[in-house]
Structure formats: structure tokens, C-alpha cells
Amino acid sequence: MPNTEPNAALDTVPDAEPGPGTATTPARPLRTVLVANRGEIACRVFRTCRELGLATVAVHSDADAEALHVRTADAAVRLPGDSPADTYLRGDLIVKAALTAGADAVHPGYGFLSENAGFARQVLDAGLVWIGPPPEAIDAMASKTRAKELMAEAGVPLLRPVDPDRATGPDLPLLVKAAAGGGGRGMRLVRHLADLPAELAAASAEAASAFGDGEVFAEPYVENGRHVEVQILADTHGTVWALGTRDCSLQRRHQKVIEEAPAPGLPQALRDTLHSAAAEAARAIGYTGAGTVEFLVSAAHRPYFLEMNTRLQVEHPVTEEVYGLDLVAWQLRVAEGAELPAEPPAPTGHAVEARLYAEDPSRDWQPQSGPLHRLDVPGVRLDTGFTGGDTIGVHYDPMLAKAIVHAPTRAEAVRRLADALARARVHGPVTNRDLLVRSLRHPDFAAGRLDTGFYDRHLPELTEPASAGPVAGNPVGSTAGSTAGGSPVGISALAAALAATAARTGSAAGLPARLGGWRNLPSGHQTTVYRAEPDGTAYEIRHRLTRDGLDAPGHPDVRLVAAGPERVTLETAGVRRTFEVAVYGTRVHVESPLGACAFTTVPRFPDPAARTEPGSLLAPMPGTVVRVADVAVGDRVEQGQPLLWLEAMKMEHRITAPTPGTLTALHAAPGRQVEVGALLAVVSEGP
């Protein structure tokens, strides 16, 4: 990214008097920065610190001892334990770590303690520089209910809260939200008044568990609204920049998936209103540093204030790319007392960001953990906390990376990002990569028809298994042939089988294609069964090499050109394509111009020990039991009835009865740590 900013050298910034509402510590050149965070954001901050000549200090839990952010930093301090409550949420330990390592400043990143005014005060009281807004500004925005009151006084347009005790039919639908925190935790959509009491109680319980504060409120739900936000950057001298708009409407479970800047299709008058309202919100609380003011924009282009995030946002790179700025660098400069120019740089082009998560769409988007063998997304800016060879743990957010593309036009940026993700090598747990590619290529997204209901309308088609698409392949049990030699998934499975055969021959040159591997004695077909991920469709691949070439039932039009353990070239209907194959135990990844596929090799003789009692509920991932329903052994339960809630990777997962029947065993209690596959409960069928 080109550096178009003044004052690039931090130690040349002159001293400055703190502005209204700012921390009173005197401005001074920074030398060493501790990042009170982990993963991608810690690596992101360290990158800028390194470019600006600053030393860096990481903190880490035991689970993160070998994490990329620890390996990237100049020094690292251990926070004993694994859970966030024992480590990254312990402000006292982090301040002690900063002092021990000789840091003179603390950057909070996002999440964890980044919007905790008490932690900011701890940092300042220790004589350290706080790279964030003043604690008073954090306090002002900490409660969404109090924030709305302040914004109303400042003339910022907003939705008025609805008293749940007085709500009536015309008030519906309502959105119940946690007063503290965010990220969709403690949020419920209510369309029927009869559901309101239960949803209020559930939202309050989830908010208390996530944020330590069970306060919730209700406000009107805007149908087909867009989530639009404005990036704010303010110094201690009274200058406030409103750095354009971002659209973050593509959300699933209130979690952002794809973001872009500028928000497409907004009238200039509305943009001006949003910029002005965001700047006024910042001035109203004496804000300094980087922050974001979020709005809900109705279909009629009416804006409503949602909240102000008093920190850097996950999606900040799209603004950086459009404005040619490094927002982290400016956070550091503002903390030193630097003055912003009167006007920000002019924006150019369009930027789009997609969040790559380790999650399984076929299992209700459960977060995934395990070894990440390879992570390679060509042609993009990749902000990540992982590299190939790392392990995705179970204690934290399952986001692997953010892929960002900047281009002269929106259409070009979207096309390039979709292509880069489609060609990416992501070898390891199942991810949401296919959802991202399909979303970016969806006609409504391409046309800029965006709102927060996008996935409510389109998720089924965007997550449809490849084998169910218009070029259905040859899954096990299928009698239908296919044009052009099978589906992309089926041909990829064939390539995997041919690569495995080449590996077994021990020949680096691969299988002989010209003579077809002819033998004097006839041989039977080699049979391999692959289970495609994430939908689980099984593909039985039968093939042999004959005098006439490749004999692969189900793929009559496919000709083998060459095959090696890592690369297979096939010709179909006169079109030649190369398939790259990578094998990790029973897991196989295949990439080609037809798309990326992942398979699990099905063993010929299944392990009898893998069988479980019918009706058993097994932990889908390692985690902690946070709640158990009001049920007891011997009770009658219905299919889909919640029995307990498991928290893993910062998300709550509901474990439900798989069938109507009787609860015959319950092996869960709040606080119990469970491993993947642990028996949680048993429901026996019958009346």
C-alpha cells in the first residue's frame, strides 16, 4: 500500500496539548508497543509497527504459545491458562506484561478488552500510552441505550427503543439486543408478541454469559435494511475525518461475512448525511483515534444510528485501500500527539473484503479446528494470523483470514476477489470459501442489491451441494450419466484416485498415459470411495489402465494425459485441464480450473469401535457446557428440543434431541469441558 501520509516517521511528531476529553498523559515518541490481543489483528498491528521502526511485544495464552503473532513479535509474555477469561481478558496481567517487557504503549486491537474503559484506565495509570480513545469516550458508548441518548442530544438520527412491557402489535417486528457488547450475541428477532418474554430472557442470559452484563433492550426491526458504517479518525487538536462509507450488509447470524467500500448505490445526499452524523457523534464524546459509527439504512434511504465502535474494526482494510491510508499508523501517530491534515486524501476505486472462516456449512456452520496444512490466496491482500503448518485451536474465533482486493471499479474488485478465493489453496478444516465465492458471483450482489436479509433469502442456493447442481456428477447410488465426463466434483475425485495410483507405483514420472499402462494379463478395476466435503456425498471411483487407455466407468469421455502423485492432467471432450492434488492422511485436496474440492478417503473396512448407541448426542467440537435445559433423565423430549448449549470458539451451539423419545442419559453440567466426540446425552426412541 503506498504511503500517502505526512509525518511518516513517528519520532518526528511534535509534542501537542491534549484535546478535549483526551487522555492527559503527555505526548511522547513511542518505542515499544505491546498488543493486548492475538491472531490476525495482533499480526496486523505488528506489521505496521515494524514498518515504522517500533519494537513489538506479544502476549499469549498457553494455547497460543506457538501462534503466528507470537512468532512475529520481537518479544512475548505468557498469560497462564487457555480461556480468554484467564488470559486476554485479564487487564492486570497484560499491564504487568507491558511493564515487564519494557513496552511504553498498549494497542488493544479489537475484541477482548479493546472497548473496556477500565482497562484503558489501568494502562494510563501505569504510565503507559493508550493507543485508543479516552476512557470517557469508551464509557459513553459502552451501553447502547446510553449511546442512543447521547446521539439523540447530538441530533444524530436513530431508532427509538421500545419498552418491551408496553409493546403492541404495530411495534412488530422487534429486535432484542444486548446493551453491552456486540457480534450478534444477545440478539433476537421477534415477530410475535407471545415470543417476546422468552426471547428477552434468552437474550439476557446469553448477554450475561458473553459480556457479564445481562441488560437488553428492544427497538423496531427495519426490514430489508442495509448495514452501513462510517470510519472515523480524529486527533487531539479537534480535527475529525469521516473516511467514507462501508457496506457490511452481508451477515449471517448477525456476523459480517463480506464488506466493501464505498457502500454502493447510496445517493450523495445520504452519504453527506452519514458523514456529518458520524463526525458529530465523534465530537459529541471528545473522540480521538480510529473508530466506527454504524447505521442502519432503510430501503427508503433513511439512516438510523446503531452504535459506535470505539476501536478499530475488523473490516478497516477496505477503507485503507480506498483512501491509501494505514489506519494503524495513524492510531500510533495520534497517540503521540500528531495533528491530522485538514482534509483526508481523496478516495479512489473500490475495495471488497471477505472473511474466511473455519466452519462447516453441512453441520449448521459449526466452527472447525485442527491442522491447517496450507493457506495460499493469490493476488490479494491477506490479513491473517495463520500460516501453513499451524493448528486452528478451539478456544478462539474461527476466522482464518481476511482477503481484500482493491480495483478501479466495484465490478473488477468483486470479480478479482471471487477468482482469487476460487483458486485459493486452503488445506485443512472445512471453510466457508464456497459461500464466499458464490456470494460474490450472485447476481443480486453483483448488481449491488444488498441488505441484511441477503442470506435469509439466498443461503439455501448458495450452500447447495455441488453434486446437486446443474452438472450433477456420479455420486454413489447415481445412475445418471453426465455430459462432458461427469461433474466437476466427480472428475476431481477421479484425479485424486489416479494420483493415489501414481503414488503407489513409486514413479516420479507418474502413470504411463500413451500406452495406457497395458499389461499382458487383464486386471480388475481399482476402487476407491471418497466422501466429498462438506456435504458428505460419496463418490465411488473405479478405474484401470488398458491397451486403449483409461477405463473409468462413469467417466467415458475422460482421457488420461499424465498422472503423478501431485498433478494429474485429464482431457474431457477435447479440453485439457490440470488437477493439483495434495494428500494429508485420509484427507485429499484437489484444485483445478473447475474449482477446489476436498475429500476424505473412506476406509475399505470401517472400524467397529466407531459405532455409537442410537440416539447418542456427541460433542461436535471441543468446548464448554454453558447451559442445560430444564430436563431430567426419564423425561419425554421432542425432536429438535434444546437439551444443552455448548460454547466453543466464541460461539454458542445448541444441542437438540435428534428424535422424539425419552431422555435416558445426560452427561452434561454447566462448566464441564468436553472433547470432540464426548457423549453428552442419549435419547431413546419410542413413546
Cell of 250: 452481508
Amino acid identity of residue 355, one-letter, is R
What does the radius of gyration of the chain's CA atoms come to, in whole angstroms? 27
Q: Which of 113, 111, 108, 182 lies closest to 144, judged by CA?
A: 182
> Nearest 5°: CA angle at 380, between 377 and 386?
50
Strands (DSSP E) contained in 315-442 are: 350-357, 359-360, 366-367, 370-372, 374-376, 381-384, 390-392, 399-407, 425-427
CA 483 – CA 503 distance, rounded (Å): 29
Q: What are phi and psi of 149, to 5 degrees?
A: -65, -45
The answer, yes or no, to whether the previous bond of 173 is cis (omega within 30 of 0) is yes
DSSP string, 521-584: S--PPEEEEEEEETT--EEEEEEEEETTEEE-TT-TTEEEEEE-SSEEEEEETTEEEEEEEEEE
The dihedral formed by the CA atoms of 480, 483, 485 and 490, expressed in degrees to the nearest 10? -60
By annotation, the residues acting in catalysis are: 311
Give the H/E segment covering residue 97: helix 91-101
Q: 166-198: buried (b, 16+ CB within 10 Å) or exposed (e) per residue?
A: eeeeebbebbbbbbbbbbbbbbbebeeeebbee
Give the three-class secondary structure for 652: strand
**Spatial strand order in the sheet of 636-637:** 616-618, 679-685, 661-666, 636-637
Give the H/E segment covering residue 40: helix 39-51
Give the H/E segment covering residue 145: helix 144-153
Q: Find all residues with CB under 8 Å of 585, minimum gap 6, and list them.
A: none
Q: How many CB atoms lie within 10 A of CB 409?
A: 10
CA 563 – CA 575 distance, rounded (Å): 16
Q: Find all residues with CB under 8 Å of 379, minimum gap 6, and list them.
A: 405, 416, 419, 420
Let me know: does 151 contact 126? Beta carbons within 8 Å. Answer: no
Cell of 330: 495513524
